[in-house]
Amino acid sequence: MLKTTALTAAFALVAGAALAEPQAYTFDTSHSQIVFDYNHLGFSTTTGMFGDITGQISFDPEDPAASSVEASFPVASLMTGFAGRDEHFQSPDFFGAEGAAPEVTFVSTGIEVTGDTTAMITGDLTLNGVTQEVVLDTTLNQQGNHPMENKPWLGFDATTTLLRSDYNMGMFAPAVSDEVQVTISVEAMAAEG
């Protein structure tokens, strides 16, 4: 009888794990940002940042490859530390925020798990009205209960390299580097209800 009960319990645990669904998380906008940098004429490395990032993560800790992410942010959130540069970057010469593409979006299409806390997330990045496939080299920093919010929380960092010219923003290249290094840091909280 004891063996039968233990076996039934084991099957129940396995079945429960198999039926477990990914958990929904929403971005913590106050702790999510995208930083980019590029070479300026060989003299300096110039840096900028985007904020106001919103999105959702469907996270499956039992099968991370079955997870997904969608994110967006307004081009108008751009900050470089110099108002004249911000204004120029938001013109049709670059990000086109005054035109028809004021939002940047990313939608994952696949995840390749590369380690206990690492993965390559492939997805479609739409920037300046152009959609290209990109790969985010991603690290799960932490998964656990937030000590102040008292709810499940996730933290990720990711990096990628983009070519400005792929998104019709190649002005001044190659003097101003076409390659842009991108670093992403995101916190996400368990979705309500």
Residue spans of the domains in the chain: they are 23-190
Q: Give 126-178 pLDDT, tens digit per residue.
A: 998 899 999 999 999 999 999 999 999 999 999 999 999 999 999 999 999 99
> What would the pLDDT profile of 107-131 be if each residue is shown by its tens digit?
999 999 999 999 999 999 999 889 9
pLDDT at 5 over 80: no
For residue 61, is the peptide bond before it cis, meaning its omega torsion is within 30 degrees of 0? no
CATH superfamily for 23-190 is Lipid/polyisoprenoid-binding, YceI-like (2.40.128.110)
Average pLDDT over residues 59-72: 96
Mean pLDDT estimate for the chain: 89
Q: What pTM does this model have?
A: 0.86
